[in-house]
Amino acid sequence: MESLDFIHLTLSNGLYLFIVGFVGGLVSGFIGSGGAFVLTPAMMSLGVPGIVAVASNMCHKFPKAMVGAFKRAKYGQVDWKMGLIMGASAEAGVLLGAHYQELIKQHFGDAGSNLYVSVAFVVILGLVGGVVMRDTIKTYRSGMLEEEKPGRLAQWVQSIHIPGTMVYFPSIKTRISILFTIPLGFATGMLAATIAVGGFIGVPAQIYVLGMSSLMASATELVIAFVMGVGGTIKFAWSGYVDIRLAMIILAGSLFGIQLGAIGTTYVKPFMIKLVMGVIMLTVMVSRALVLPVYLSQLQWIPAMDSNTMTLLKNTSFFIMILALATGAGIIIVAILKGRRAQTNSLNMLKQAA
Amino acid sequence: MAHPTPTHSTTSYFKLIAWGGASLTMYAFLLFFEQPILALTSQGKWFFIFPVLIAFAFSIVHGNFTAEFWERLGFRANK
């Protein structure tokens, strides 16, 4: 086993990871995923080797997702059967995604691998984030914030009957073919292996393709993340890459966050889940689009850039990524506070009436 | 922040302190013995079981503490 240089932990970098973990956990507890993408670069900014950062992120992710899933299951928001079926196919997607990553790294080096990840971010988050945001705006304008009905695609999927493959899912109260859920889980895993957040495909897919509600989809995503996280942790720990100290410090913050995020889902209207997800996806897309020229330049596919410009673009990209997470967390906290205030007011009115 | 209908019983505070104490002890143990624990968890192969078990143990203990923490602060699910 090769010897790894694990970083020296100080109070300040421990606190930094705790806070990033808290914000990431808050977002994950609310939308089912989305907190992990900033943790790997956050650890790397402390000098943690890339592979150790990915491994430690994975090792904090599965216990966090497990706690979040149980918490939200208490509120009746989790479809365990859907989560486990999609989680199993996501695991296969993770393995293939990781294999592609290795192939790209072998052929094009670190710059090629970074370019591949950034293009995946920009294309997928741009497309899916755009759909989610459009739907959120449409829902807001319609004024029907409480109601969620399956769209045309979901209705079509639910109408298809393929003998021998039909499974009843409580979240949609009907039977659908697992020939639809398997590729969706697989794509979720592929994305998780590429950009660390499979939920950016998993949650919208469950809403728009399978016809689940935002609340159920975001909660069920935590089960998928748990299954993927266990498999990923075993894979990395088998090679000795997990820095358990880092993983547990991030977990310390993220468990505070995920509990609050899960509680938050009971105070907000369903469209808020889509709003937070859409805002984060589109902001992260901008962040990754900024660094595309850096990697293109390193591959010499465009004229060379000077190092100052590269550093500026990378730092700006990292800042926007943190901003994306902070914006999502801010929307969630405001929504929770508003929801609590409305609840307090209505309780006071009831007391007065009595 | 006060919840509209707080129910602070002695038992619930005891739970908070018990889970919090256990969580704090586990973190102190992890950081105090960081080198031998890192050596054990980064050996690879079948030793993968140690980081996985540690993660499960922390999630149960610290997870219960954080749940109690928000509960005592008055952040409960809206029913």
**pLDDT tens string A120-146:** 888 988 999 999 999 999 888 887 777
Res A168 pLDDT > 50: yes
Distance from the Cα of A167 to chain B's closest Cα (Å) equals 31
**Quick one: pLDDT band at residue A4, thresholds 50, 70, 90?**
low
List pLDDT tens digits, range A14-25: 999 999 899 989
pTM of the model: 0.88
Helical spans, DSSP H, in A150-270: 152-159, 178-195, 199-208, 214-238, 244-264
Amino acid, res. A7: I
| Predicted-complex ipTM score | 0.89
- pLDDT of B66 reads 96
Residue A79, token pair as written in the block: 């479809």
- Name chain B contacts of A74, Cβ cutoff 8 Å: 77
Residue of B59, B64, B65, B70 best to disrupt the A interface, most CBs of A under 10 A: B59
Please tell me if residue A266 touches chain B, with a CB cutoff of 8 Å. yes
User: E strand or H helix at A68, and its extent?
Assistant: helix A50-74
Rounded percentage of chain A residues whose pLDDT exceeds 70: 97
**Quick one: pLDDT band at residue B37, thresholds 50, 70, 90?**
very high
Query: How large is the average pLDDT for residues A344-353?
Result: 84
Res B1 pLDDT > 50: no
Rounded percentage of chain A residues whose pLDDT exceeds 90: 42
List pLDDT tens digits, range A41-77: 788 778 787 778 888 988 999 999 999 999 999 999 9
- pLDDT of A239 reads 87
Please tell me if residue B52 touches chain A, with a CB cutoff of 8 Å. yes
- pLDDT of B2 reads 45
CA-closest candidate to residue B61, choices A88, A250, A63: A63
Please tell me if residue B6 touches chain A, with a CB cutoff of 8 Å. no
**Yes or no, beta carbons of B77 and A266 under 8 Å apart:** yes
Q: Quickly count: other Cβ atoms within 10 Å of residue A177's Cβ.
A: 17
CA-closest candidate to residue A57, choices A88, A89, A32, A20: A20
Helix pair A80-142, A178-195: axis angle to 10 deg: 80
Question: Would you kindly state where each structural domain of chain B is located, as residue ranges?
Answer: 10-73
Residue of A6, A230, A248 best to disrupt the B interface, most CBs of B under 10 A: A248
- pLDDT of A54 reads 83
Residues A296-327: b if buried by 16+ CB within 10 A, e if exposed: bbbeeeeeeeeeeebeebeeebbebbebbbeb
Of A95-104, A259-268, B23-32, B40-49, least confident by mean pLDDT is A95-104
Of A26-40, A79-93, A267-281, least confident by mean pLDDT is A26-40
